[in-house]
Amino acid sequence: MDISCPMCGEDEDLVGTRNADVIELACEACGHAWPRDLSARCAECGGDDIQTVPLAIVEKSRGTQLSIVGTRPVDLCSVCDAEKLLRFHANRPNPLMPDELPTGSRLDQE
């Protein structure tokens, strides 16, 4: 996420302090201060209807066998990521599978 001062456009000389559900930002170049909401927003459409779901971390172990070795949380937009959310909810309680799966074996990578 790119953050810059709304007054002078400075994007490096900024400081922030957390205050409940908001980060108070201040520009050290011009002195302007403003709040930044911590609620998740979609980077594509700016929407705030975001769902956090587990995404599978997949590795190829032997032959063609794929193994889920863990999960990590990802934020999905109900508008932009509607297809992924449908896939996730259709296969619950399993994690969402990544868009691209590994192709080579671990031995090929060593």
Give the pLDDT confidence score for residue 72 in this predicted structure. Answer: 95
Which residues fall within 8 angstroms of residue 92, CB to CB, at 6 or more apart? none
Q: Which two tokens stand for residue 91?
A: 């296969």
For the chain, 110 residues long, the average pLDDT of each consecutive 10-residue run is 86 89 91 86 89 93 85 95 95 91 59
Going by C-alpha positions, the residue among 92, 89, 56, 54 that lies closest to residue 74 is 54
Which residues are paired to 48 by β-bridges? none
